Amino acid sequence: MAETHDRLDDDLQDWITAQHVFFVATAPGGADGRVNVSPKGYDTFRILDERTVAYLDLTGSGVETIAHLRDNGRITFMFCGFTGPPRILRLFGHGEVIRHADERFDDLRAEFPPMHGVRSVIRCDLERIQTSCGFAVPFMTFEAERQTLKQWSARAGSDALDEYQAEKNRRSIDGLPALLGE
């Protein structure tokens, strides 16, 4: 049974913090673009207050979230209880992309552990907080974080990451602007 909440109370905050993976969903405006859902890991999600969250956007092959947020700002986060009692939590909101040149970047970045390859911080004002049963979500055991992305970005270094972003992260798969001219 779905239940809405007016804020992220202590119980929800503790539960979010205990999760090892979350999913980010965005879509462009209009009827033609592709909906994107991305799994996220590492220690990259933060609760800034009871109605504001953020996560570290790491350099990767896709740039859909950035392009979609610049297009319309819509974003949904989903957390699933793979251990313990069944629960699904969806956070619906309006997100924004905070890049390195933004005066807010350093303060937001300081909320997270040091990590190579940070492309931006995605900040979101929550508009709806909803839990549901999660009865069909399987039990899954966390083994470990994959180190591949961390190792790749550390080896690449800042200049190579900037070049990669300029080449691979200019536009979304639907051709929306993402990191053009930055």
Using DSSP's 3-state secondary structure scheme, residue 13 falls into: helix
Question: Which residues neighbour 43 within 8 Å (Cβ) at sequence distance 6 or greater?
Answer: 112, 113
Tens of pLDDT, residue by residue over 33-72, are 999 999 999 999 999 999 999 999 999 999 999 999 999 9
Say how far apart CA 89 and CA 134 lie, in whole Å.
9
| Total-model pTM | 0.96
Q: What domains can you pick out in the chain, each with its CATH number?
A: 3-168 (2.30.110.10)
* Number of C-beta neighbours around residue 33 at 10 A: 20
Tens of pLDDT, residue by residue over 64-118, are 999 999 999 999 999 999 999 999 999 999 999 999 999 999 999 999 999 999 9
Alpha helices in the chain, H assignment, sequence order:
10-18, 64-71, 105-109, 148-168
